[in-house]
A = this chain, B = another copy of it.
Amino acid sequence: MTKTIILKNRPEGKPSTSNFEFVEQDSELTIKDGEILLKAAYVSVDPYLRGRMSDAKSYVPPFKLDEPVHSGVIAKVVASKNDNFSEGDYVSGMLNWQTQQVSNGEGLTKVDSSRAPLSAYLGILGMTGLTAYCGLTEIGKPKEGETLVVSGAAGAVGSVVGQIGKILGLRVIGIAGTDEKVELLKSKFGFDEGINYNTTENMQAAIAKAAPNGVDIYFDNVGGPISDAVLVNINQFARIIICGAISVYNSTEVPKSLSVQPFLVKNSALMQGFIVSNYAAKFPEAVKALSGWLSEDKLTYSETIVEGFDNIPQAFIDLFDGKNKGKMVVKI
């Protein structure tokens, strides 16, 4: 039996399980020449998927209604009529939220389960790590001694950004939503300072205090009032990487915040939207650097692994309540 999760209707505001539907199919999947049969092993759930569930204009077309949702997946090859793949191989790619599926192998990369745990290929050695590395280096252009602020710092991308920042010699300040996460930033990920935005009354002052020399780079995963408070503290020639805006993804109204323009012009500062897929040319360099740091124990990562195919929608929804520490992955 094959189970598939389809998008039943588009979320308004925060997604709910009723936006998804499970479809079961009893007939056995068969493969033709050139095809492989895949069994899902790990499914990545990511905030950016929220954007694809809306039908607003975006950099990728929206998910279609009544069709399978897809995201980064690690799958096992269980049958192969394709010379590039053998039974037992594990592959990584953009695949459907489906227990089993047929592929012609296009866009799939073999992953080595002996080099790193399979789930790492959805995280630190996958889109998460690439996003952190390429966003920070290509837009952030860090120079030793500068100050980096990361929002969503305990999240999958944020925690890696902060660690790379430390490796590159920056002062790193992380913003997160619980004392526990803030503690983790400092004890596990080596951030210099952490700020809990849920218990801090004056974020602008807290950032000023944590960044006495001002903010040179801001790696922004959240948008909204947290980013407004950072913006007020930027230095001349600051670089702001807009990697996500999770605080407003579920807005049903057009979100308003601080006018950024006066701050950018006053500081000759740059703010740029970052989508990792635009930086494919950098991936080999990024993977080499990340694997190297990983093997030297300079880099660590957190995962929240939820078990069970049926829990994919809820795991996705939980991202918006910050229930994950680090990369959220569903083990099938």
Contacts and interface: CB of A to CB of B under 8 A. Distances in A.
Contact of A259 (B51, B224, B243, B244): B224
Interface stretch (A15-23, A36-44, A162-170, A250-258): A250-258
A117 interface: no
Interface stretch (A78-86, A119-127, A269-277): A269-277
A204 to B, nearest CB: 10
A329 interface: no
A224 to B, nearest CB: 7
Contact of A223 (B51, B224, B259, B268): B259
B272 A245 contact: no
A242 interface: yes
Assign chain A's interface to a size class.
Answer: 35 or more
Contacts of A245: 259, 261-262, 265
A267 interface: yes
A75 interface: no
Contacts of A99: none
A271 B139 CA distance: 12
A270 B272 contact: yes
A278 interface: yes
A259 B257 contact: yes
Interface string A120-140: 000000000000000000000
A261 B245 CA distance: 7
A236 interface: yes
Contact of A59 (B51, B223, B260, B268): B268
B270 A271 contact: yes
Contacts of A14: none
A161 interface: no
A264 interface: yes
A227 interface: yes
Interface string A8-30: 00000000000000000000000
15 contacts: A56-B266, A59-B268, A227-B261, A242-B264, A242-B265, A243-B265, A245-B259, A245-B261, A248-B262, A256-B256, A256-B257, A261-B271, A264-B271, A268-B274, A270-B270
Interface of A: 51, 56-59, 220, 223-224, 227, 236, 242-245, 248-249, 254-275, 278
